[in-house]
Amino acid sequence: MLDRNKKLYIAGHKGLVGSALLRRFEKEGFTNIVVRTSKELNLINQADVEEFFKEEKPEYVLLAAAKVGGILANSTYPADFIYQNLMISTNVIHASYKYGVKKLLNLGSSCIYPRIVPDKMSEECLLTAPLEKTNEAYALAKIAAIKLCYYYNKQYGTNFISLMPTNQYGIGDNFNMETAHLLPMIMRRFHLAKLLANNDFEAIKKDIKRNKLGSGLDNSFDYENKQDIEKILNKLGAYRDHVVLWGDGSVYREMMSSDDLADASFFLMENKDADEIGELVNVTDGTDIQLKELFEIVKKIVGFKGEITYDKTKPNGTPRKLMDAEKIKKLGWKPKIELRQGIADTYNWYCSL
Ligand X SMILES: NC(=O)c1ccc[n+]([C@@H]2O[C@H](COP(=O)([O-])OP(=O)(O)OC[C@H]3O[C@@H](n4cnc5c(N)ncnc54)[C@H](OP(=O)(O)O)[C@@H]3O)[C@@H](O)[C@H]2O)c1
Is 151 catalytic? The answer is no
Of these residues, 9, 138, 169, 239, which one is catalytic?
Answer: 138
> Under rule CB under 6 A, which residues in 62-81 are in contact with ligand X?
64-68
For position 17 contacting ligand X by CB under 6 A, the verdict is yes
For position 262 contacting ligand X by CB under 6 A, the verdict is no
The number of residues in the chain equals: 353
Site size toward ligand X (CB under 6 A) is 24
Contact mark string toward ligand X, 171..190, x via CB under 6 A? ----------x---------
For position 42 contacting ligand X by CB under 6 A, the verdict is yes
Nearer to ligand X, 238 or 269 (CB): 269
CB of 171 to ligand X, least distance (A): 11
Contact mark string toward ligand X, 104..143, x via CB under 6 A? ---x-x----------------------------------
Candidates 6, 14, 57, 235: give the one binding ligand X (CB under 6 A): 14
Phi–psi pair at 80, nearest 5 degrees? -60, -40
For position 10 contacting ligand X by CB under 6 A, the verdict is no
Candidates 58, 165, 184, 342: give the one binding ligand X (CB under 6 A): 165
Nearer to ligand X, 194 or 321 (CB): 321
Q: Which residues bind ligand X (CB under 6 A)?
A: 12, 14-18, 37-38, 42-44, 64-68, 84, 88, 107, 109, 165, 167-168, 181
Residues noted as catalytic: 138
